[in-house]
Amino acid sequence: MMRINKSLKPADLTSKLQRFWQLSDQKIHLIENQYDESKGSPVYTVDGKYSTRGWTEWTQGFQYGSAILQFDATGDFKMLETARRKVLERMAPHISHTGVHDHGFNNVSTYGNLLRLMLEGKLPFNEWEKNFYELALKISGAMQASRWTAIKSGGYIHSFNGAHSLFVDTIRSCRSLVISHLLGHVFQGEGDIKINLLERAIQHIQATASYSVFYGEGRDSFDVWGRTAHESIFNVKDGNFRCPNSQQGYSGFTTWTRGLAWAMCGFTEQLELLDFISKNELTAFGGKEALSSMMLKAAKATCDFYIENTPTDGIPYWDTGAPNLYKMGDYLNKPANPFNDFEPVDSSAAAIGVQGLLRLGKYLIGKGETEAGTKYFQAGLTVLNTLLDEPYLSTGENHQGLLLHSIYHRPNGWDFIPKGSKIPNGESSMWGDYHIREACLYLQRIINNENYYTYFNCLR
């Protein structure tokens, strides 16, 4: 399990953050100068060069969002202008895309961040530009909510696999519904029926907590506290849950660690949101106390599972039940080894999960649960401290990726295996690069006593 560094302080990472943003700048310029965007969105690197994968275009928002975060962290206006131009030129199809569950990835990372920066005073205020960003976010949330499957306990945003499929990843797309609702958008269906976007977001969060996360009790008494399933399968005719499943993990009864990380991050940022919404608005959906309890339980469970089932340095292997882990001996009681012969690590899971740990810690400390909150916050610092050093930080001047040893789709065999290696390693992903930037920006703002970074700052 993780060895949490209890003495580490946010400011201790200052010099690492400065180096990180310098490398980040280099990587963004490498992609801008070398990648052929006519081939599609950059997804992951192959031998150090970004490549595409024609599955869904779910990573383009991370590409341009990275440049926006770079501006936020460094004040580089050239980076901002490039990002704004690219968002205008290329992101419109993502706003109206009805075929994916990724609106929170693509559009909150771009339009949401730009609107946030304007409201924070980092961009010059322009009413029409503000209206443009708001309109994009309103429509994006409605499009995401249209991918709806009703079940007996409410409903969920179904994945691109079909109406039967709930992905744990999609909890981060609830942001798009929430933003659209709080911007005052009215989503309408047949006969002009008004569909409450906040209600759909809450029902999806509840479904994820109930079916994607296991607690070792009740229905899951055979299982353990905090494990997650990548996919939950439902009978769409009667609304009944059928079984756990996985697309990118090893199985429905093991934990794909990037899916675990999406849950860690997603539940904690929605916990933070509840303090932003009035109690009266939450009454119709069970009330703030009940909703907070549900989200907090899921956040604690998933973060606990991560801490217990990750090697000592905080970097997980791609799936906690991967079939060849046993060949590595007591692998949880030593640092992760991305160069082993048996199973790859997934640094992108760490980059996503670190925000869950930090945010949960900050949330609990703010609620007076200092001991528990400190544990999670220090765990987050421990993970980030590891990621900001070699072998995870990409220092090669010709490698386009920023965070090394990311895994995309192990079951499909999509990840590049370098010569002389038996497993994928040494490569980057657009989501891993974006989320390590987001985690670093989050911590940097804390160190500098800046405005606390949340996705819903675009509503303030």
Residue 283 resides in a domain? yes
The confidence score (pLDDT) of residue 348 equals 98
Could you tell me which residues are beta bridge partners of residue 155?
150
Mean predicted lDDT score pLDDT of the chain: 97
Residue 4 resides in a domain? no
Residue 55 resides in a domain? yes
Number of domains present in the structure of the chain:
1
The confidence score (pLDDT) of residue 307 equals 98
- pLDDT of 112 strictly over 90: yes
- Exposed e or buried b per residue across 216-230, where buried means at least 16 C-beta atoms within 10 angstroms of its C-beta: eeeeeeebbbbbbbb
pLDDT digits (tens, 9 = 90+) for 237-274: 999 999 999 999 999 999 999 999 999 999 999 999 99
* Residue (of 264, 97, 252, 233) closest to 156 by Cα position: 233
- pLDDT of 54 strictly over 90: no
The confidence score (pLDDT) of residue 447 equals 98
Confidence band, pLDDT 50/70/90 cuts, at residue 9 = very high
Three-state SS at 96: coil
- At what angle are helices 127-145 and 197-207 packed, to 10 degrees? 50
Domain containing 410 equals: 10-459
Q: Are strands 240-245 and 231-235 parallel, antiparallel or unpaired?
A: antiparallel
High-pLDDT (> 70) share of the chain, %? 100
Residue 372 resides in a domain? yes
pLDDT digits (tens, 9 = 90+) for 114-133: 999 999 999 999 999 999 99
pLDDT digits (tens, 9 = 90+) for 318-341: 999 999 999 999 999 999 999 999
Residue 53 resides in a domain? yes
Residue 364 resides in a domain? yes
Could you tell me the CATH number of the domain that includes residue 120? 1.50.10.10
The one-character DSSP state at 451 is: P
- pLDDT of 281 strictly over 80: yes
- For residue 338, whether the previous peptide bond is cis, meaning omega lies within 30 degrees of 0, is no
* Residue (of 193, 201, 199) closest to 176 by Cα position: 201
* 8 A C-beta contact, residue 142 and residue 103: no
Number of neighbouring beta carbons within 10 Å of residue 422: 13
Phi, psi for 318 (deg, rounded to 5) = -65, -30
The confidence score (pLDDT) of residue 385 equals 98
* 8 A C-beta contact, residue 200 and residue 148: yes
- pLDDT of 455 strictly over 80: yes
Residue 421 resides in a domain? yes
Helices (H), 367-414: 370-387
* 8 A C-beta contact, residue 402 and residue 388: no
pLDDT digits (tens, 9 = 90+) for 186-221: 999 999 999 999 999 999 999 999 999 999 999 899
What is the average per-residue pLDDT within 291-316?
98
The confidence score (pLDDT) of residue 273 equals 97
What's the length of the chain? 460
Residue 2 resides in a domain? no
* 8 A C-beta contact, residue 201 and residue 174: yes
What is the average per-residue pLDDT within 282-301?
97
Distances (CA, A) of 434 to 191, 202, 335: 41, 26, 24
How far apart, in whole angstroms, are the C-alpha atoms of residue 349 and residue 262? 8
